[in-house]
Amino acid sequence: MPTFRQDNKLGSKVSLIKTCDINDKAITSEKIANSAVDADKIQNGSITKDKLAPDVDLSLYILVDEFPSENINPNKIYLKRDSPLSETYTKFQYVNGEWKNLGVFNDSINLSAYIPYSGMGTVVEDNFGIKEETNEESKGTAMQLHLEYKDENSETKKSGSVNIPSASYEKAGLMSAKDKQKVDALYNMSALTEEELNKILK
């Protein structure tokens, strides 16, 4: 089959192959559509989205009474019952050929001791409570601090207390009101009478 002919009007040769002819066979839009890859043809041997979703394993834990000796999944956390009648479990993971203890399994987290986010913006004006306590062991004092705030129901709540020891020669800490008076007295001892100074330093 000739592929070019002389076009006298153009003064040159033009192709005889139509854009829709390949290997002497016409390619129609119907043939293209019939040979196109559609959903029915791609499903054979392939995985579609609706088939993939149920096969995806999203579980993190495997519940066991005893450690398996085969088919161990290193990407899972194994929950091993603490005793046959117990409802508490310990977390383990198989790492480098041995079982690693990851601690006790808790299905919930207790956040009652923490200030809720909703209450952070409504901390009461006198928000720091300070209480002086005598420490009999060190014969000193400690400061007990806590934070008061209002919850979402406008009820005043108090956070957990923190004990800070008093300052000493061995360690840093807070100074009690009585010790502060003694320091000030020594600093201003020239302005005090001997009787006043002895009274403060007792």
Domain assignments of the chain as residue spans, ordered by start:
4-42, 127-201
Residue carrying the six token digits 């000193």 = 140
Whether residue 65 is predicted with pLDDT greater than 70 in this model: the reply is yes
* pLDDT higher at 66 or 114: 66
Residues β-bridged to residue 96: none
Whether residue 76 is predicted with pLDDT greater than 80 in this model: the reply is yes
Whether residue 202 is predicted with pLDDT greater than 60 in this model: the reply is yes
pLDDT in the model for residue 92: 92
pLDDT in the model for residue 57: 65
pTM: 0.31
Write out the two tokens for 111: 């956040």
H-only helix segments in 6-158:
29-35, 39-43, 49-55
* pLDDT higher at 10 or 126: 10
Mean pLDDT of 42-59: 62
Span of 66-70, 149-153, 175-179 with lowest mean pLDDT? 149-153
Query: Which amino acid is present at 157?
Result: K
- Note whether 80 and 101 are within 8 A (CB): no
Query: What is the rounded CA–CA span in Å between residue 16 and residue 4?
Result: 5
- Tell me which H or E stretch contains 104: strand 98-104
pLDDT in the model for residue 105: 84
- DSSP assignment, residue 189? G
